[in-house]
């Protein structure tokens, strides 16, 4: 339990206009958070845009929804409303809260506690209409009363939330491990010559590639190569209730979106330069550039119009054709030598690239058709398969008289029950074995009859 609490130890940001009021609930809450070895930043009003930049490493936020409390300003204490905020002013304050929450989410994924004296359902409705709340386990916004949080405890509430939220748990654990690795990298690279970026920048310039892109990639590879496998808690990630909920709650398109993120970078996140793996869409067809990265740069003073790209055409794989080549035993595709399939490449679409459909184009004529980039190891595998295709060797057909005779239908029928009995249903492929044996048995019955 303490390990889960550690995921949220750090900086806590409290935004409440009663923080300086003696013996207030928010003041007591701040004291309790500090007692958990957290540093508390206390704000009496919403932070400005520039201030928010400095809060991007916060562990969690606490926001008083009724931040502009005219009752408190009038010197009236207590949670029972006596004075009501004018509707126009109230709407302005609500919009300010919503904009703040949207800015937080854009800069930092962190739990947010919203305290309100109003009915929580009213606040939840406003958040839902703004696209900030869905009343599901995936929510990272908690709408509660201060007294309830004081009774339950902030860290107890966060611990309970993250135990029911495998995605948040995995990301927080990875973030903690990544932060340690990143710091180790910084310490090492600060201790060597302060001119190492200059050396690499000049080297990249000599290769006529994007210095910024290459330097970014080099730093990223250095950090990731130091990142040891993160130790996730099996009891949280694969808890029985979560496994049972997968079939009921997880939509296939949501999983495809996760998979797309590990194999495809969208156009709006790419640099202007062309590279291997760049994917284009033209007239409903997909095209991928398989020309090596070192050949996708202008040479001898040439411009972008001097760059040729090697494009392989790809077609969307329909749901009907999907299972024609999908291997259920290995969870991949039985591609031929002449094609390569990429699952859930873009917008959940699976694309089969035909190696025979190669064409050479000018980068300047295709750049406005680029939709993103297929990244390693998927782009590398596609390149390797294409390289194997263009150097394949033709073999003569095997003579019919050399081929062993097919088993007689009667033999297949007789062996059927024995093959069914051999299927090990406890093995990962047990069901597949059973289905294959049953299919073969029924086929024999059909041929015999």
Q: Domain containing 257 — which CATH number?
A: 2.30.30.110
Both 177 and 133 in a single domain? no
Does the pTM exceed 0.75?
no
In a domain, 395, yes or no: no
**Can you give the pLDDT at residue 442?**
53
Residue 246 lies in a domain: no
Any domain includes 189: yes
Rounded CA-CA distance 409/30 in Å is 79
CATH of the domain at 112: 3.40.50.2300
Residue that terminates a domain, selected from 207, 237, 267:
237
pLDDT in tens, 227-280: 999 989 988 888 888 888 887 888 888 899 999 999 999 999 888 889 999 999
Same structural domain for residues 218 and 323?
no
**Do residues 129 and 185 both lie within one domain?**
no
Query: Could you tell me which residues come within 8 angstroms of residue 263 by beta carbon, excluding any fewer than 6 positions away?
Result: 342, 344, 345, 374, 375, 378
Select from 237, 267, 296 the last residue of a domain: 237
Here the tokens at position 368 are 């406005």
Instruction: Answer yes or no: do 221 and 280 share one domain.
Output: no
Statement to judge: residues 296 and 438 lie in one domain: no
Return d(Cα 390, Cα 380) in angstroms, integer: 16
158 part of a folded domain = yes
Whether 88 and 211 map to the same domain: the answer is no
The answer on 8 and 140 residing in a single domain is yes
Residues 424 and 285 in one domain: no
Give domain status of residue 398, yes or no. no
Same domain, 173 and 71: no
What's residue 363's pLDDT? Answer: 94
Amino acid 370: pLDDT: 96
Q: Is residue 116 part of a domain?
A: yes
Distance CA 345, CA 262 (A): 10
Of 163, 180, 209, the position where a domain reaches its end is 163
Together in a domain, 176 and 137: no
In this structure, are 222 and 291 located in the same domain? no
Query: What pLDDT is attached to residue 443?
Result: 58
Cα 242 from Cα 166, distance rounded (Å): 8
CA distance 378 to 376: 5
Domain, as residue range, for 192: 168-237
Q: Look at residue 40 and tell me if it is in a domain.
A: yes
Q: How many domains does the chain have?
A: 4
Q: Point out the residues of the chain with pLDDT beneath 50.
A: 70, 74, 76, 79-89, 409, 412-413, 420, 425, 445-446
In a domain, 242, yes or no: no
Judge contact between 353 and 339, C-beta under 8 A. Answer: yes
CA proximity to 345, closest of 288, 275, 272, 283 = 288
What does DSSP say about strands 308-316 and 370-374: parallel, antiparallel, or unpaired? unpaired
Same domain, 216 and 359: no
């Amino acid at each position: 339990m303490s390990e889960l609490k550690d995921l949220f130890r750090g900086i806590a940001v409290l935004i409440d206009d009663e923080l300086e009021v003696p013996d207030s609930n928010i003041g007591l809450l701040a004291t309790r958070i500090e007692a958990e070895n957290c540093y508390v930043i206390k704000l009496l009003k919403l932070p400005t845009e520039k201030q928010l930049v400095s809060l991007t490493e916060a562990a969690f936020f606490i926001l008083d929804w009724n931040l502009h409390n005219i009752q408190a300003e009038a010197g009236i204490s207590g949670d029972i409303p006596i004075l009501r905020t004018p509707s126009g002013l109230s709407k302005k304050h609500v919009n300010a809260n919503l904009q703040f929450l949207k800015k937080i989410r854009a800069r930092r994924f962190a739990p947010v506690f919203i305290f309100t004296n109003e009915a929580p359902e009213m606040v939840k409705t406003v958040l839902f209409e703004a696209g900030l709340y869905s009343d599901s386990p995936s929510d990272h916004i908690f709408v509660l009363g201060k007294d309830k949080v004081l009774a339950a405890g902030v860290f107890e509430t966060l611990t309970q939330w993250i135990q029911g939220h495998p995605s948040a748990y995995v990301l927080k654990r990875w973030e903690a491990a990544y932060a340690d690795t990143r710091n180790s990298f910084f310490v090492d690279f600060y201790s060597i010559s302060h001119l190492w970026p200059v050396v690499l920048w000049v080297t990249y310039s000599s290769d006529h590639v994007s210095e910024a892109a290459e330097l970014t990639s080099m730093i990223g590879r250095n950090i990731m190569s130091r990142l040891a496998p993160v130790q996730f808690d099996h009891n949280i990630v694969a808890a029985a209730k979560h496994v049972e909920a997968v079939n009921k709650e997880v939509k296939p398109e949501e999983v495809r979106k996760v998979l797309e993120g590990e194999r495809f970078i969208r156009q709006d996140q790419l640099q202007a330069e062309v590279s291997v793996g760049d994917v284009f869409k033209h007239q409903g067809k997909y095209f991928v550039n398989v020309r090596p990265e070192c050949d996708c740069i202008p040479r001898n003073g040439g411009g972008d119009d001097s760059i040729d790209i090697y494009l392989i055409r790809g077609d969307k794989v329909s749901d009907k054709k999907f299972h024609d080549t999908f291997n259920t035993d290995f969870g991949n595709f039985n591609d031929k030598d002449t094609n390569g399939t990429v699952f859930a490449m873009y917008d959940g679409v699976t694309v089969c690239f035909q190696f025979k459909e190669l064409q050479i184009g000018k980068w300047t004529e295709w750049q406005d058709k680029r939709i993103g980039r297929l990244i390693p190891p998927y782009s590398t595998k596609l390149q390797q398969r294409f390289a194997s295709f263009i150097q394949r060797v033709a073999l003569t057909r095997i003579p019919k008289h050399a081929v062993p005779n097919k088993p007689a239908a009667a033999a297949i029928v007789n062996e059927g029950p024995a093959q069914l009995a051999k299927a090990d249903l406890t093995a990962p492929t047990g069901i597949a074995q059973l289905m294959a044996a049953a299919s073969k048995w029924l086929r024999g019955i059909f041929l015999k009859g």
